C-alpha cells in the first residue's frame, strides 16, 4: 500500500516535459521580414530596407533567409548611405524667392562654409535680382575681405585646381564678388565640393570649403529683368 502510494506521488510530482520550440512561428516571422525587405527594395526605399536586412543577417546568420538577403544587402547599404548623404547636403542650402530688395525682387540660394566656429564661417551666396541680374559672392562678418582691384582666388572644384577672379563691392559690405558669375554657377551645378582661398582683413588667408552637391537649380529660378 505504501509502495503504491509512493509510486503515485512520484508520478504526480514529475516535471512536465519541455515545450517544443516555436520553430513554425519563428519561420513565419522571418519570412514576413524577408518579404518586407524585398518589397522595400522594389519601391526604392533602400534607407528603410537596409536596417531590416542587417537585422535578419545578425539574428539568423546561418539561415537560408540570411543567405538570400546577403545577395543584395551590400548594394542596399551603399544606396541607403548615398541617399542619406544626398539629403544631408541638400539641407545645407537655404533658398529665398520673391523677396523685395532695393526696389526690385530677388531670389537667393546660400550655403555656409564647412567646419570651424560659427563666427569663422562665411556664406557663398547666389543672387538673382530683377534689376542687377545674377551675382555670386562670399559674405562674411567683421571687416570683410582684402582684395585690390580684381584679385585671383586659388580654388579647387572636386580636387581640380582652378582660379577664380573676384572684386570688392563699392558699397563697402563685408563681401567678395566673383567676376564670372555664370561660369561659376555652371561649375557649381556639377560639383560636389568647392574650396576657395580668400584673405580676410582680420585673420589673413583662409581656405573655405563648401559642400555644394545638394544644390537644386529649380529652387533658384530666373527672374524677369526689371526695365
Instruction: Give domain status of residue 16, yes or no.
Output: no
Would you state the torsion angle of the CA atoms of residues 172, 173, 174, 176, taken in this order, to the nearest 10 degrees? -80
pLDDT at residue 117, rounded to an integer = 66
What's the domain range around 198? 94-219
Q: Is residue 9 part of a domain?
A: no
CA atoms within 13 A on the CB side of 64: 2
Ordered DSSP codes for 45-67: -HHHHHHHHHHHHHHSTTSHHHH
The pLDDT assigned to 24 comes to 60
Kindly state whether residues 125 and 214 are assigned to the same domain. yes
What digits encode the pLDDT tens for the residues 30-62? 999 999 999 999 999 999 999 999 999 999 999
Residues of the chain with pLDDT under 70: 1-26, 116-119, 224-227
The domain total for the chain is 2
Q: What is the CATH number of the domain that holds 37?
A: 1.20.58
- For 33, the grid coordinates are 521580414
For residues 76 and 101, state if they share a domain: no
DSSP letters, 66-101, are HHHHHHHHHHHHHHHHHHHHHHHHHTTEEEEEEEEE
Q: Are residues 151 and 196 in the same domain?
A: yes
Q: What pLDDT is recorded for position 102? A: 78
Which grid coordinates belong to 181?
558669375
Amino acid at each position: 500500500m505504501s509502495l503504491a502510494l509512493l509510486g503515485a506521488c512520484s508520478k504526480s510530482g514529475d516535471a512536465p516535459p519541455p515545450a517544443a520550440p516555436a520553430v513554425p512561428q519563428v519561420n513565419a516571422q522571418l519570412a514576413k521580414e524577408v518579404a518586407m525587405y524585398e518589397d522595400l527594395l522594389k519601391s526604392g526605399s533602400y534607407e528603410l530596407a537596409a536596417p531590416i536586412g542587417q537585422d535578419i543577417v545578425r539574428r539568423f546568420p546561418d539561415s537560408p533567409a540570411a543567405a538570400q538577403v546577403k545577395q543584395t544587402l551590400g548594394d542596399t547599404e551603399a544606396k541607403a548611405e548615398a541617399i542619406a548623404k544626398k539629403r544631408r547636403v541638400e539641407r545645407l542650402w537655404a533658398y529665398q524667392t520673391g523677396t523685395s530688395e532695393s526696389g526690385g525682387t530677388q531670389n537667393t540660394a546660400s550655403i555656409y562654409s564647412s567646419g570651424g566656429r560659427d563666427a569663422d564661417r562665411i556664406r557663398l551666396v547666389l543672387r538673382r535680382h530683377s534689376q542687377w541680374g545674377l551675382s555670386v559672392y562670399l559674405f562674411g562678418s567683421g571687416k570683410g575681405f582684402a582684395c585690390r582691384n580684381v584679385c585671383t582666388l586659388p580654388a579647387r572644384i572636386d580636387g581640380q585646381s582652378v582660379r577664380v577672379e573676384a572684386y570688392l563691392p563699392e558699397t563697402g559690405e563685408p563681401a567678395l564678388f566673383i567676376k564670372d558669375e555664370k561660369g561659376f554657377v555652371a561649375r557649381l551645378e556639377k560639383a560636389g565640393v568647392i574650396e576657395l582661398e580668400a584673405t580676410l582683413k582680420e585673420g589673413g588667408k583662409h581656405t573655405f570649403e563648401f559642400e555644394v552637391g545638394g544644390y537644386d537649380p529649380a529652387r533658384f529660378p530666373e527672374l524677369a529683368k526689371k526695365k
